[in-house]
Every structure is written in structure tokens, then in C-alpha cells.
A and B are shown apart, each in its own frame.
Chain A
Amino acid sequence: MKISKKIIDNLKKGGVDFYLSVPCKLLANMIEILENDKDVYYSAVPREEEGMGICAGAYLGNKFPCIMMQNTGIGNSVNAIVSLLQLYQMPVVFLISYRGTPGEPVGAQGGMAKITEDILQTLRIPMLHCSSENDLDKISTFSKHAKVVESPVAILCDFNLMKDDT
């Protein structure tokens, strides 16, 4: 719970006040924290691409949105990212559980893991890669950066960082 709490605290410190998620086992604690947080909006959504649309609307309505998802969700969302969030220069934080990184027991997750950073790089999305607890201290500044540059940004949380956060 300590890692998840630190991530949410830092996102909130960065101004993020609207959260969506497509669930992942590694995000479960964060979802539980947000479900009990009366200061911010939280909802689950069925699909990441749709979440990008809801985040765009939330930004238009003056919220600072974050969508939490597995890295697989980036693959589901490329057109929405490029032709909506980037086209209209909308700041949105992607909080990504980086499935398929070392420690991952499910071999099939390796495929998207191999290309996740390449996709983000191709999309010119600024990345913060968190592999240790100390990295989490950078999250609030990095989130604020999204607003400054009016762009979606991606925070990648490694499997091994999240797996023992019970």
C-alpha cells in the first residue's frame, strides 16, 4: 500500500483531480485508495481509448485528468492520443503498470512490453520510468510538466516496484 499511496499523493500534489482506470492487478491498491477519496473524481472505464475521450472532456471542463492502465492500453489508444489529446494539446497523465518487465510471471505480456517505450517515443510522449521507490518523488513535478507543455505524459511503473505493495 505504501508505494500506491505515494503515487497517488504525488499525483494529487501535481494537481491531478480526475482519475479513470482500466483495472490491473498492480493498480488494485491505487483504485482502492481513489474509491475512498472524496477530494477527487474516480471511475472505472471499460476501454482505454474511451478513457482518452473522457479525459479530453474533463480537461475541457477544467479538470486535470489521469488514466491508469496497463501498457497494453497504449496500443488500444494510439489514434485517440494523436488525433485528440495531442491535436488539441491536452494535458493528461497516463499512469501505466508496466506489465511484461522483469518479475512478470505471464510470458504473453512480454510482447507489448518490448514495444511500449518505442510507441511512446514515436508518439513523442514524455516518459517517467519508475523502477524504485525514490523515482516516485519525481511524479508531482512530472505531472505539472504535462500542463506546462500541454501534452499527455506517461509514467511507467515497473512490475517489480508494484508487485509487493500489499
Chain B
Amino acid sequence: MNRFDLLNKIQNFLKDNLIICNIGLPSQELYKINDQPNFFYMLGSMGLSSSIGLGLSLSQTKQVISIDGDGSVLMNMNTLATIGNRAPSNYTLLIIDNGSYGSTGDQRTFTDENTSLKDVAVGAGCKKVIECSGEETLNELSKAIEDKNNSYVIISKINSGNVKIDPIPLNPITIRDRFRKFIGIVKYL
């Protein structure tokens, strides 16, 4: 199972929640599978999907899922400490860990060598840290969302590999405003 297969498998589950999606291929694949206004596609700022989702979950009550990658989490590991100490129960970080920098040509990341993001997250203070296969991810995600008392970090171990895909044609303000309209903040659209 690669990232595209996984996103396909969990897409129905993403419809009702607020989704922050990592820059590059993850966002492009999600857009191609089934574009939704409750998907916030990152067009820049690699590394910050986890942090954006954290800020969003602290600011309103809907469920938030940050879809992140191993390369991006390695770039912003300090935020795991913030999550471990501050994340509210409506926050889930889904790290799609394929051991490679998929958007830049599948160069290996350190999770393909000695680094365990599970151990890092536990050490950073995250209480509910699940490492699972791509096949198990949907089940683990739904358990995390049903649990109203805890935030979760789910590390989904999958294969690397990408599909051929175009950049997202939406402009950033469209992404921003339709996302905020979904939450109920923007009234003018």
C-alpha cells in the first residue's frame, strides 16, 4: 500500500472532519481522489501541517486531523513536544510514514534507517501513540476520533511510491475561505 492507496481507503472518513494536509503530493493526491471544502491544502511551509492542525484544534471544537509525512515531521520535531503537552482531545496527527521524501523524488528519510517517530512522539510526551500498517489505519483512525478524552498520534507505515499528478489549481484564498465557511466563520460565500 502506498500513500495514494491509503488516502483512497480513508477518504470517506475524512469527509466530516477538518483536515490539514501536507504540502506536495499528499495534498495533490487528496485533491485528485475527492476534493472537499473541509480540506486545507498546504501550498508551502513544509513541516507545519502538525502545527497548523494543533492551532486549529485549540481554537474550535470540531475534530481535526493533520495529515503529515515522515520527512515533514522530521523537519519540525519540536512540535511533537507541544502536542504532547497541549493537544486537546479533538486533535489527531496522522503521520503517513513511507520512509521517503515522496514529493522530491523518493529520497530515503531517517525513518527508513534508525529513527522511530513512535519513540520520538512517546518521548515528547504524547500519551496515545499508535504505529500501524496501512491496512490497519482506518480502524485506528476511527478509534482515535471516537475517543473524546484523548488526542492521538498515528504513524501509518506504508510503502513509498507516487502517482503522476498535477499541482492543485485552487488559489490559496479560495482554500482558506471555503475551509472557514465549512467551520461556519465565513458568511459571504
- Asked if A50 and B51 sit within 8 Å, CB to CB, the answer is yes
New A-B pairs, 10, CB < 8 Å, besides A18-B58, A50-B78 = A18-B55, A18-B59, A43-B86, A45-B78, A47-B79, A50-B79, A56-B55, A58-B56, A60-B180, A83-B45
Q: Mark B147-188, 1 if CB is under 8 A from A, else 0.
A: 000000000000000000000000011011001100101000
- Is there contact, CB below 8 Å, between A57 and B55? yes
Decide: B55 and A46 in contact? CB cutoff 8 A.
no
Give 20 pairs: A residue, B residue, CB < 8 Å, sorted on A: A46-B78, A50-B78, A50-B82, A51-B51, A54-B54, A54-B55, A54-B58, A56-B55, A57-B57, A60-B179, A61-B56, A61-B59, A61-B60, A80-B45, A83-B44, A83-B45, A84-B44, A88-B172, A88-B173, A90-B176
* Interface size range on B against A: 20 to 34
Majority DSSP secondary structure for residues of A touching B = helix
**A65 lies within 8 A of B176 (CB):** no
Interface of B is mostly: helix
Q: For residue B54, which residue of chain A has the nearest CB?
A: A54
Partner of B175, one of A41, A80, A88: A88
Expressed in whole angstroms, the Cα–Cα distance for A1 and B113 within the complex equals 51
Q: Does B43 contact A (CB under 8 A)?
A: yes
By the criterion of a CB under 8 Å from any partner CB, how many residues of chain A are at the interface? Answer: 31
A interface, CB within 8 angstroms of B: 18, 41, 43, 45-47, 49-63, 65, 79-80, 82-84, 87-90
Bound together, the chains give a CA A62 to CA B173 distance in angstroms of 15
Q: A79 to chain B: which residues have CB within 8 Å?
A: 44-45
Q: Taking the complex as formed, is B142 at the interface, i.e. its CB lies under 8 A from any CB of chain A?
A: no
Q: Which residues of B lie under 8 Å from residue A61 when comparing CB positions?
A: 55-60, 183
Closest to B82 in A: A45
Asked if B172 and A53 sit within 8 Å, CB to CB, the answer is no
**B80 vs chain A, min Cβ distance (A):** 10
Residues on B with beta carbons closer than 8 Å to the beta carbon of A51: 51
